[in-house]
Structure 1
Amino acid sequence: MGVLSNKISREDLKPGDHIYSWRTAYIYAHHGIYVGDGMVIHFTRAAGQEMGTGTFLDKVLFSSSPAQTDTICERCGDQRKLQGVIRSCLDCFLAGDHLYIFEYNVSPVFFVAKARGGTCTIAPSDSAADVMYRAKYLLEKGFGVYNLFKNNCEDFAIYCKTGLLIESYYSLGRSSQWASWTAGVSTIMSSPLRFLTTSAGGLVLVAGSMYSVSRYVADVGVRRDVVKIPVEKLVVEVGGNEHQIVGEARVGE
């Protein structure tokens, strides 16, 4: 893997790998955990709704679940209306796009050099056995309600790999691609910075530095408001078959 691309071949995949595939002209990536035998466990809000905005944009612009087509996968069956944590074959997960691997335990220099969020983290991964156990446990128990800002597919994959959750209820999720978006927006909105530079090149340098710092401090491997939560304590029964995430709020209680 390198700074420019995280693309990987199927032959190089190992059980427990965190993989992803870009959606809609590289606007958003869908993440999951490869569990071997050509299968992926991932978290989705159903076809065309991964962004989780609850608006028409979910169907017009984005897709996270298996490919939206009338052809039913012989291996997976019809998964177009499924949501939550599901298991799909690689073909359905990729939905016709390329395969990429999410990197863990990267250096701060490497992390900053990766201009696009949602591709790596400074946090180390746990063992493949622990990752697989969490993914399969959550396939049965669920990962709460999908939320673009607090609980999305990347958050699911990062939790499976690290067991880390944000301690504060009001914090955003672990998703580094969301951190990348917010860092970009905050950089653009910081218009007073234009007064700190006398040239276009200087402004670009300041804005780029601010963007990189914002991404870095939001990374799950750097921030201090994360805690290790055993997967068995992550979910609780709520009135029958429903489950909800309990790790993000009031962890100390």
Structure 2
Amino acid sequence: MRVLERGPSLTDQAAQEIRARIVRGVFQLGEPLSEITLANELGVSKTPVREALMELKRQGLVEVHPQRGTFVFEMDATQVRKLSELRAILETAALKLAVANDAPGLRTRWQRIVEEMRAALAEADAERYRTLDGEFHRVMFELADNPYLLEAFDLIAFRVQALRNRLSLDPTLNSTSFDEHVRLAAMVPDSGSIDEIVDLLGRHIEWTREHYLVELASAAETVSPARQKQRRRADEA
């Protein structure tokens, strides 16, 4: 008896595409999402889009506010600090395991990604740069060879990527971020103490946190008319 193969449903496809746009930074934090606009762009009815948004809500990627509409998730200062604390714990553990398991492999993969990041910066390709930034950090978890550690990181990875998306809009911050990635790739030890590279990784994560907190404070001071208009359109959709 032949078992029928089923492809992903329209709801699954819609959820995958919207999720990808959020993670890539096409949709920014707090941006309103219109079911009608998304349905038109994806070439489907509103039903699979509505179901997809509810699934993404369960995953924490979107927020649904009654009488207001659906928005890409946002993080306040407290959430950013707590996210950074957890990120530091997970990435430090992953780095130590990756170095212990395969230091040469970590160095080689990091150096390759760094060269791709260099090219992305030269081409002013911010989207490519932040994607590579995410890959750089994920390598540690892959070489750590601990599926539970990777699973734990995947639970917060989209939020971490959202921070990168916001900060990568500033070329100056990208340049500073790149310099730190170059230093990390060059500091992978063959053996012995890894305190120095662990310390740099911690300061790199702290740097991301502090700059995003500055972004949050700046955004709180001024809500642009365009943003207000976006929210009104989402409320009416």
Q: How does the TM-score come out when normalised to structure 2?
A: 0.30
Could you say which structure has the greater relative contact order, defined with CA pairs below 8 angstroms and 6 or more residues apart? 2
Which structure: larger Rg?
Answer: 2
Determine which structure has the larger helix proportion and give its number. Answer: 2
